[in-house]
Amino acid sequence: MLKIRKFAAIDIGSNAIRLLVNNVIEHKDKPVTFKKSEIIRVPVRLGEDAFTNGVISEHNLNRLVKAMKSFDLLMQVYGVEKYMACATSALREAKNGERVVEKVLKDTGIQIEIIDGKREASIIASTDLKELIKKDRFYLYVDVGGGSTEFTIFKDGNVLVSKSFKIGTVRLLNDLMSEAVWKQLQDWITEYLPENGKVEIIGSGGNINKLHKMSGRKMDQPLSYIWLNAQYHFLNSMDYDDRISELGLNQDRADVIIPASRIFLSAAKWSGAKKIHVPKIGLADGMIKTLYYEKG
């Protein structure tokens, strides 16, 4: 007998807030399948507050509360059975992060869990990555966010090591990155990945998804390092307004897409990867799986 259940994930990032509604299809004698039903993205850039001022402003707190109220109503309309709401680096680092969580709970009834980088990386690793991964090579999974980037290395089809670095698009835009952090990332990548080994990157996040769409490639076709490098220089040669008017990028995408490209290019350079797979899965997808398997 077929049963369709609805689960939701709320990803409160540094650059935007997302609601993912998933159909979880249970069928007797068949594996459970997960199918995206709806994705809604709200451009509330909490990281700009957290990383520059150390606190979430009242203005953005009010916007966050309004977004959570709308998400709550949408989940009711969709008939969502269970949800999970996670906040990442912006609320992790904001001095008033706990107050923000309490305010949202009081005003909307939505309970937000502030997760650390290790937990974030483990949730991301629970996605359907194994469908992409071959056992004869290494894979470097790179999930670029506004405040941090989660890196996971796969060897022989299994997770070898994961680490979160305070390297993010909003940080880079606001010149809040030191060369020391870049060096730490480079050292970490070269420590765990072999020289001249078979390494491929799996990228996730809104920016790499957008870049893949701009490339015109099919869903299962990876980006090449050469194409991404050329696209990075092309985007960098345009000013912000032209990226919006000529390329049709959203306002909150037209600026962060350049530092995101730089992060992926750096990871590819240091790992020796020539291909970047873009399966369009990330933290929210991992939250759905976590909600279903770990939380019953």
Return the pLDDT at 157. Answer: 84
- Rounded to an integer, the average pLDDT of 68-82 is 97
Tokens of residue 102, six digits: 């309490």
* Residue 138 placed within a domain: yes
Give the pairing of strands 223-224 and 199-204: unpaired
| Residue 196: inside a domain | yes
How many angstroms from the chain centroid is the CA of residue 105? 24
Residue 295's pLDDT is 65
Partnered with residue 153 across adjacent β-strands are 140, 161
3-state secondary structure of 133: coil
- Domain extent, residue 262, equals 128-280
Q: What is the token pair recorded at 72?
A: 């709550």
For the cut 90, the answer to whether the pLDDT of residue 131 exceeds it is no
Number of domains observed in the structure of the chain: 2
In a shared domain, residues 63 and 77: yes
Handedness of CA 276, 277, 282, 286 (dihedral sign): negative
Largest CA distance in the chain: 57
Beta bridge partners of 218: none
pLDDT tens-digit map of 172-190: 999 988 999 999 999 999 9
CATH of residue 137's domain is: 3.30.420.150
Instruction: State the chain's mean pLDDT as an integer.
Output: 93
Q: What is the pTM of this model?
A: 0.91
- Is residue 123 in some structural domain? no
φ, ψ dihedrals at 259, nearest 5°: -60, -30
Residues 156 and 62 in one domain: no
Q: What is the pLDDT of residue 18?
A: 97
CATH number reported for the structural domain that contains residue 50 in this entry: 3.30.420.40
How confident is residue 53, by pLDDT bands cut at 50, 70 and 90?
A: very high
- 184 vs 167, 179, 181, 193, 270, CA distance in Å? 11, 9, 5, 14, 12
